[in-house]
Structure 1
Amino acid sequence: MGSASRAVSCLCCPCKCLACGLFSCLCSILISLLVVVGVLALIFYLIFRPHMIAATVDSAALAQFDLAPNSALAYNLSVDITVRNPNKRVGLYYDDVESLALFQDQRFGYVQLDSFYQGTEESTKVSPQFHGQQPLQGDVNAANFRSQQTDGKFDVEVKLNARLRVKVWAFKVRGPKARITCPLSVPAPGNNAGATFKPTDCKVWF
């Protein structure tokens, strides 16, 4: 009875049956493609096992860090950062590399760095230099500056941002934007109390 009804329906409206058939075929193709992509992604992960990049600030020094009465910050900060690619089969291109320096969440320094390529299990050292003058906003920042100056060290945050491209064999694929954040405690200029900078690991975000 049901088969006869469908046959009659198709005879009465062949276009409807054709549309249903095409829709069913497209759904089958789409599901198959999703399964294939999922399997390939799993195989890619099991073969290459991509790992998160890592970064460490090896050294940081303040040659100048002075706050004028008008809250203008005069600064001269040098930083050495080692970025590591722990992957054994994946190379990384770092494009649009920029470095920022912040005090109390206010940016006072900005440096554009050269792009670079990092082969498998390679490390690259980048050394941004920040110097200039920048106004700080708010009385709280001025008070925090004086307090940290008395303690003989400043809490400075250095960030490194880059657009990644991933290289697998001869293939290059556009990757995410890497954001590296490094909270630092840097000895104040002219500190004679024996304070030294300790290498600091950074946090990496995508």
Structure 2
Amino acid sequence: MGEEQRIHPAADVEAQRPTTPLVPQGSAASSEKEIPVHQHPPMPPRTIPILPVIQPKPPTSRSCFCRCLCWTIGLLVLLLVIVGATAGILYLVFQPKIPKYSVDSLRISDLRLNLDMTLYAKFNVKVTANNPNKKIGIFYEKGGRLSVWYTNAKLCEGSIPRFYQGHQNITKLDVSLTGQAESGSTLMTALQEQQQTGRIPLDLKVVAPVAVKLGSLKLRKVKILGDCMLVVDSLSTNNIISIKASNCKFRLKL
């Protein structure tokens, strides 16, 4: 008999396939362990708050008043600065000085009691007015008054004449004063008692409206107010009375 043929079963190719992944040996991927990566959950989108839109307030009457007030104050300040600067320049240019006055003599023409018990007085006063200004003239206007007082009682009064006094001019005035005072008996008794001491205090008051002339410019009227405290020796009529003391003060009133 011929040779026996043995038939071997064919190998199962599908069964011999490796189940491990086909990764080349010795590679870095096979040598390292896989580390799980912890991923944070996604953040929710950030929301921005929307603020309400504030509409500008319409201008009120109060704001208009404040603006007008500020403008008015600013204009007044500017006006004061201009006036002050002008006055300063005029002062430097003209160098104004207050006029000087002195009482030269006092004569009593009459001093007696009337039937109605009022005290009648008639004085004559001579006054010297001195204008020391080099560039300023003085107009003495209507309405100037000169009066003589004893304590709080006005004995007599007279008018200062109108005239113009030039630069650095000295003018002598002769003013006649008359008047009647109430409570004449009381006043006469007090004057007679004071006369025995030889020192009788009298107060001579001056009110003179004047207009100042700067160069060729005539300014508005002002008033010269004067107060002269006199001490005389007697009140004898028709005699020149001796003035023992005199203290005069003058000022301007705008």
TM range, smaller chain: 0.7 to 0.9
| Cα distance per residue 1:26-64 (max 9 Å; x no partner) | 776655443333222211111212112211001112243
Number of aligned pairs? 194
For residue 34 of structure 1, the aligned residue among 80, 87, 92 is 80
Structure 1 match to 2:5: none
Q: Are 2:118 and 1:72 aligned?
A: yes
More strand by share: 1
Q: Which whole-Å CA distance do the structure 2 matches of 1:77 and 1:33 have between them?
A: 49
Post-superposition CA distance 1:81-108 (Å, at most 9, x none): 1111222211111112122122222112
Query: What is aligned with 1:105?
Result: 152
Give unmatched runs, 5+ long, in structure 2: 1-54
Q: 1:106 to 1:27 in 2, by over 3 A?
A: closer
Judged with a 3 Å threshold, the aligned counterparts in structure 2 of structure 1 residues 191 and 91 are, in CA distance, closer, same or farther, namely closer
* SS of equivalent to 1:42: helix
Structure 1 length normalisation: TM-score? 0.73
- Rounded to whole Å, the distance in 2 between the matches of 1:181 and 1:73 is 23
- Distance, in Å, in 2 between the alignment partners of 1:199 and 1:85 is 23
Amino acid at match of 1:113: I
Match of 1:92, SS state, is strand
Larger radius of gyration: 2
Deviation of 1:189 (Å): 0.8
Query: For the structure 1 residues 180 and 56, does the alpha-carbon distance in structure 2 shift closer, same or farther, using more than 3 Å as the test?
Result: same
Mapping for residues 6-25 of structure 1, pairs under 5 Å:
none
Question: Once the two structures are superposed, what CA deviation does each residue of 1:124-144 show, in whole Å capped at 9, x if it has no partner?
Answer: 222112246x24338764542
Among 93, 97, 105, the alignment partner of 1:51 is 97
What's 1:114 paired with? 161
Pair 139,91 (structure 1): closer, same or farther in 2 beyond 3 Å: same
Structure richer in helix, relative to its length: 1
Distance 2:237 2:155 in 1: 21
Alignment RMSD, CA only? 3.5
1:71·1:142 contact (CA, 8 Å) conserved in 2? Answer: no
Q: Which has the higher contact order (CA 8 A, sep 6+)?
A: 1
| 2:173 matches 1:126 | yes
Task: Normalising by structure 2, report the TM-score.
Answer: 0.61
Work out the CA distance in 2 between the residues paired with 1:41 and 1:196: 43
Using the alignment, how far apart are the partners of 1:54 and 1:181 within structure 2? Answer: 12
- The counterpart of 1:185, out of the listed 227, 231, 237, is 231
Distance in 1, Cα, partners of 2:225 & 2:74: 40
- Among all aligned residue pairs of Structure 1 and Structure 2, give the percentage whose two residues are the same amino acid: 28
* Aligned partner letter, 2:177: F
| Structure 1 segments unaligned to the other structure (5+ residues) | 1-7
